């Protein structure tokens, strides 16, 4: 091989390696651009998740439109809008919320703490309502100025003894089964009232809670003592549902988009409330347009109201001669405390209650009949 031929091959090899290196660097650069593109896509997706309400609507209607888009509970929407109203009234309705500054928002929250003497949870709810208004509805940047925060003191729950629970339930004039279930399952009041027929599993002795606090599902027990009473109660509810169907009604409210996805499910037996109300009521979320633009309300049978059970509990406590402040939630506290007293594991009780943190469940260890390590008073040893 001649020297010129060898040099030519060497030069060709160098050029080929240079081309390979350049090609590799271009591929690396193109790959490094992808995360940015993906980030942009994620940002665009996040923007699409935010709804810009119709600017031609009034503020209350815009607020409602965003709440429906975010699937907020009706009770949450009512509570949040109530704080918007209180904010406007605090300044004598002279300032539009769009024109309020962060200092004025801080002044309102401080007023709640120092003048109105609200609880810490109430002030937090007011703050969340204002943040929702400016971030999700008005799309305005507002930094709330420093404000006086309400201190949250440590409170022990009110717990009944098993004898007191027995006296209370015996004195219930109406809806005794509902109060028995509160104590026997540890459900929250609204979790109980929102139970559907399909959520009661007689075969497995279970009750399934859908969309509980934090929008979480969980399972709790169906007390053996209440199986017969529950079955008889559901038979009565089924007769009431059949009567509604005969009158052209019987369509229960369904969560979110299920009514559109399964049009016939609203009249199915499994979706009916376990504790339906006696009368029919207009569903504010189901207004359908009628002829000539006139809205036609839809009648539904909702579940019984929470204040009904609250009144029954208060009346039963008075009849039973209980001096403690008793509410439906007291039965949930008693459920957890009695399970711990009977030796059940705190993690099991946490799961039954649906607590996110076990520290929340540990509060019941402070109100057990033998708190701590069962310390005995020195007076009892004299």
Q: How confident is the model at residue 55 (pLDDT cuts 50, 70, 90)?
A: confident
Q: Which of 301, 303, 332, 333 is catalytic?
A: 332
Q: Among this protein's residues, is 134 annotated catalytic? A: no
Q: Is the pLDDT of residue 27 over 50?
A: no
Q: Which of 300, 301, 338, 355 is catalytic?
A: 355
Higher pLDDT, 101 or 368: 101
123 and 241, same structural domain? no
- Range(s) of the domain holding residue 70: 59-137
Domain finish residue from 137, 170, 199: 137
Per residue in 286-341, pLDDT tens?
Answer: 664 444 444 577 899 999 999 999 999 999 999 999 999 999 999 999 999 999 99
Please give the pLDDT value at position 220.
96
- With beta carbons less than 8 A apart as the criterion, state whether 331 and 165 touch: yes
219 and 331, same structural domain? yes
Domain finish residue from 75, 102, 137: 137
Query: Rounded to an integer, what distance in angstroms lies between the CA atom of residue 159 and that of residue 344?
Result: 17
Per residue in 71-88, pLDDT tens?
Answer: 888 889 999 999 999 999
Name which of 343, 377, 349 is nearest 363 in CA terms: 349
Per residue in 267-281, pLDDT tens?
Answer: 999 999 999 999 999
Please give the pLDDT value at position 36.
41
- With beta carbons less than 8 A apart as the criterion, state whether 205 and 222 touch: yes
227 and 125, same structural domain? no
Residue 286 lies in a domain: no
368 and 304, same structural domain? yes
Please give the pLDDT value at position 327.
97
358 and 227, same structural domain? yes
226 and 108, same structural domain? no
Q: Among this protein's residues, is 355 annotated catalytic? A: yes
162 and 93, same structural domain? no
Please give the share of the chain, as a percent, with pLDDT higher than 90.
Answer: 63
Q: Among this protein's residues, is 292 annotated catalytic? A: no
Domain finish residue from 108, 137, 166: 137
Residue 147 lies in a domain: no
Q: Among this protein's residues, is 296 annotated catalytic? A: no
- The mean pLDDT value of the chain amounts to 85
Q: Is the pLDDT of residue 113 over 60?
A: yes
Q: How confident is the model at residue 1 (pLDDT cuts 50, 70, 90)?
A: low
Q: Which of 90, 167, 213, 267 is catalytic?
A: 213
214 and 83, same structural domain? no
CATH number at residue 132: 1.10.150.130
183 and 92, same structural domain? no
Q: What does the pLDDT average to over 181-189?
A: 96
Residue 150 lies in a domain: no
Q: How confident is the model at residue 52 (pLDDT cuts 50, 70, 90)?
A: confident
The count of domains in the chain is 2
Q: Is the pLDDT of residue 31 over 60?
A: no
Residue 138 token pair? 């008005």
Q: How confident is the model at residue 43 (pLDDT cuts 50, 70, 90)?
A: very low
Q: Among this protein's residues, is 332 annotated catalytic? A: yes
CATH number at residue 308: 1.10.443.10
Phi/psi at 232 (5° precision)? -65, -40
Q: Which of 188, 241, 301, 333 is catalytic?
A: 188
Residue 28 lies in a domain: no
Higher pLDDT, 67 or 297: 67
166 and 109, same structural domain? no
Please give the share of the chain, as a percent, with pLDDT higher than 70.
Answer: 81
**Model confidence, pTM:** 0.76
Q: Is the pLDDT of residue 255 over 70?
A: yes
Q: Is the pLDDT of residue 24 over 90?
A: no
Per residue in 202-254, pLDDT tens?
Answer: 999 999 999 888 788 999 999 999 999 999 999 999 999 999 999 999 999 98
Residue 361 lies in a domain: yes
Q: Is the pLDDT of residue 151 over 50?
A: yes
Residue 202 lies in a domain: yes
Q: Count Cβ atoms below 10 Å from residue 86 Cβ, excluding itself.
A: 15
């Amino acid at each position: 091989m001649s020297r010129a031929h060898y040099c030519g091959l060497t030069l060709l090899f160098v050029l080929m390696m240079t081309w390979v290196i350049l090609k590799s660097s271009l591929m690396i650069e193109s790959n490094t651009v992808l995360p940015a593109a993906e980030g942009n896509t994620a940002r665009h997706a996040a923007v699409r998740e935010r709804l810009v309400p119709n600017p031609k609507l009034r503020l209350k209607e815009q607020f409602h439109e965003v709440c429906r888009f975010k699937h907020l509970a009706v009770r949450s929407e009512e509570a949040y809008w109530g704080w918007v109203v209180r904010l406007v009234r605090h300044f004598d309705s002279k300032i539009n919320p769009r024109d309020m500054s962060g200092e004025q928002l801080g002044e309102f929250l401080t007023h709640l703490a120092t003048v109105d003497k609200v609880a810490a949870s109430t002030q937090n709810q007011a703050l969340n309502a204002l943040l929702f208004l400016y971030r999700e509805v008005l799309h305005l940047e507002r930094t709330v100025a420093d404000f006086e925060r309400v201190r949250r003191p440590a409170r022990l729950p009110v717990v009944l003894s098993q004898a007191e629970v027995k006296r209370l339930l015996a004195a219930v004039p109406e809806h005794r089964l509902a109060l028995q279930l509160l104590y026997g399952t540890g459900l929250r009041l609204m979790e109980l009232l929102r139970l559907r027929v399909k959520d009661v599993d007689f075969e497995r002795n279970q009750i399934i809670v859908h969309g509980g606090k934090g929008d979480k599902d969980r399972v709790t027990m169906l007390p053996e003592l209440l199986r017969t009473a529950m079955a008889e109660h559901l038979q009565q509810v089924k007769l009431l549902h059949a009567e509604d169907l005969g009158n052209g009604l019987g369509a229960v409210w369904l969560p979110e988009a299920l009514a559109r996805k399964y049009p016939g499910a609203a009249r199915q037996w499994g979706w009916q409330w376990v504790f339906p109300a006696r009368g029919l009521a207009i569903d504010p979320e189901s207004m359908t347009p009628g002829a000539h633009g006139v809205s036609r309300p839809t009648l539904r049978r909702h579940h019984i109201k929470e204040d009904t059970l609250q009144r029954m509990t208060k009346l039963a406590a008075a009849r039973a001669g209980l001096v403690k402040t008793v509410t439906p939630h007291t039965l949930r506290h008693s459920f957890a405390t009695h399970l711990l007293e009977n030796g059940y594991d705190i993690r099991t009780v946490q799961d039954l209650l649906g607590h996110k943190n076990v520290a929340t469940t540990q509060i019941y260890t402070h109100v057990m009949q033998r708190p701590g390590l069962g310390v005995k008073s020195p007076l009892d040893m004299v």
